Amino acid sequence: METLKNNRNIDLVVLDIVLPQRDGMDIFDILKRDFPSLKVIVSSVYPIDEQEFLIWDADDYYYKTDDVSVLMNKMAVLLKT
């Protein structure tokens, strides 16, 4: 969060749902509240339908077992818009 506050040049965050100190769902809510133009891709070992259920309004979702090229393509699409 400090990095985002200090650097307004960040356009996209890849966010895991399960984090060691804080729940990814809580962080997502804070990101969207404090940085509404920020794009967020939720990334998890949970299948995409479960990710969508947990965080229904993310900009996109990435299933960690997919090839990293899938994530890179999703990032490219979101950064073009």
Domain count along the chain: 1
Q: In terms of residue numbers, what domain contains 48?
A: 2-80
- What tens digit of pLDDT does each residue of 3-58 get? 888 887 899 999 999 888 888 999 999 999 999 999 999 999 999 999 999 999 99
Does residue 59 carry a pLDDT above 80?
yes
pLDDT at 2: 86
DSSP, collapsed to helix, strand or coil, labels residue 2 as helix
pLDDT digits (tens, 9 = 90+) for 46-57: 999 999 999 999
* Alpha helices, DSSP H, located in 15-61: 24-34, 48-54
> pTM of the prediction?
0.90
pLDDT, position 81: 63
Residue 1 DSSP symbol: -
CATH number, domain of 42, equals: 3.40.50.2300
